[in-house]
Structure 1
Amino acid sequence: MATATRPDDLPSTEDVLALSGLEFMQRMKAGDLPGPPIGGLMNYRLAEVEPGRVVFRATPEFSHTNPLGTVHGGWYGTLLDSAMACAVMTLVPRGSVYTTLEYKVNIIRPVPLGAEVEAIGVSQHTGRSTGVAIGEIKGVGDGKLYATGSTTCIVMKMA
């Protein structure tokens, strides 16, 4: 999947509203739509999409560290926000959009630099006006739990 590198790479509002959230995410995974620029910056990519669930694969790099040399909390937050909110998105109907209202992250242990992880987002509820989801960051291969999160999103009918 290619990552958008300039505004013209992103789909138009009309194109977004013509697709359900699930169709949008499936087309992104298939490479028919570009991945978000933040994915390139934070080194993550969409790996799995199904109704109410998404998985991103990610590997933290030195550029994602804090002054102590460990992975910055914002990297965990960005990754979980993407996974949880996109899980909600997969259940948003055609003609609607969503955005994150709030999210919470619990960092359990540091992700080692260069270690591949999965961020798994699962929608617990997606209705006409709100979506609620949970997420986890786990090690690929060993399944070690690095962080958990929860989110509330607003769903807005646009068309």
Structure 2
Amino acid sequence: MRAQHPDDRAPRETMLSMSGLAFMRAMLEGRVPPPPIARVIGYRLAEVAEGRVVFAGAPGPDHTNPAGTVHGGWYGTLLDSAMACAVMTRVPKGSLYTTLEYKVNIVRPIPPGTEIAAVGTVSHAGRSTGVAEGVIRGVADGKLYATGSTTCLIMEAS
């Protein structure tokens, strides 16, 4: 399998030609490529349902800070992806979304190499905004590592 190049992401027209839920399902099924950030950060799409998305991954040595613990940006990226993509599952065909703001609360450090699931769940999806919550839990032990919340802007493509 060849390495993914940033230009390998799905064209914008492809995304706009289907609902957000259909697009996320196409990604899960491998019909559209994952975003390049997933390769860099080391996570993959694991589940998709309307209003809910799960990403799985494990932080490695390249994701640690000078103290040797997993960098807070790794938690933030996983939660932003899970929460915002959960909102995406509620976005209609011909529309886009973007993160307006998000917050992360780290509960405990994730030991490098620990497989986690980042779950995003929508609590509101309207015409112009979407709100979601997220958690990062250990796959093997169910430990809570972080929580988050987001507000996304939903807009018609122009």
Question: TM-score range, shorter-chain basis?
Answer: over 0.9
What SS does structure 1 have at the residue aligned with 2:110?
Answer: coil
**CA-to-aligned-CA distance 1:43-99 (integer Å, 9 cap, x gap):** 000000000000000100000000100000000000000000000000000000000
- Work out whether residues 9 and 36 of structure 2, in 8 Å CA contact, stay in contact via their aligned partners in 1: no
Shift in Å, 1:141: 2.0
Give the equivalent residue in structure 2 for 1:40.
39
Aligned partners of 1:132 and 1:39: how far apart in 2? 22
Gaps of 5+ in 1: none
Instruction: Tell me the C-alpha RMSD between the 2 structures.
Output: 1.2
Aligned partners of 1:4 and 1:84: how far apart in 2? 24
Shift in Å, 1:109: 0.1
Shift in Å, 1:4: 4.0
How does the TM-score come out when normalised to structure 2? 0.96
- Work out whether residues 3 and 34 of structure 1, in 8 Å CA contact, stay in contact via their aligned partners in 2: no
Aligned partners of 2:138 and 2:55: how far apart in 1? 12
Code of the residue aligned with 2:77 in structure 1: it is T
Give the equivalent residue in structure 2 for 1:76.
75
Tell me whether 1:95 sits opposite 2:97 in the alignment.
no
Gaps of 5+ in 2: none
Q: 1:3 to 1:85 in 2, by over 3 A?
A: farther
Code of the residue aligned with 1:78 in structure 2: it is T
Alignment of 1:5-84 (within 5 A): 5-7=5-7, 9-84=8-83
What SS does structure 1 have at the residue aligned with 2:131?
Answer: strand
Aligned structure 1 segments of 4 or more residues deviating by more than 2 angstroms: none
Q: Which moved more, 1:118-127 or 1:10-19?
A: 10-19
Give the equivalent residue in structure 2 for 1:117.
116
How many correspondences in the alignment? 157
What SS does structure 1 have at the residue aligned with 2:70?
Answer: coil
Q: 1:37 to 1:3 in 2, by over 3 A?
A: farther
Identity in percent: 62
